[in-house]
Amino acid sequence: MAERAKSTTEVQGYERVANGNEVECQPQDMCQIESTGILCTVDYIPGNAQLYRLDQFGNCTQELYRPLP
């Protein structure tokens, strides 16, 4: 039986960090775009800050998901 190839797209995940009245996007861990059912967080630890993908304006807005091993 043939094994199905995994089709995932890994991207840089960014943490939203408050800097006065501005929100900065700081690079953290690699995440994936396709849903695994688990949101991507700093160090992949549940409860840590959620990570996002940058939009066309450089804002961290799109939810990302934790890559599966």
CA angle 62, 64, 68 (to 5 degrees): 165
Decide if pLDDT at 3 tops 70.
no
pTM of the model: 0.83
Name the band, by pLDDT with cuts 50, 70 and 90, for residue 2. very low
- Give the model's pLDDT for residue 20: 87
The encoded tokens of residue 66 equal 């934790």
29/31 Cα distance (integer angstroms) = 6
**pLDDT per position as a tens digit, 20-60:** 888 899 999 999 999 999 999 999 999 999 999 999 999 99
60/22 Cα distance (integer angstroms) = 12
CA dihedral sign, ordered 46, 42, 44, 31: positive
54/39 Cα distance (integer angstroms) = 16
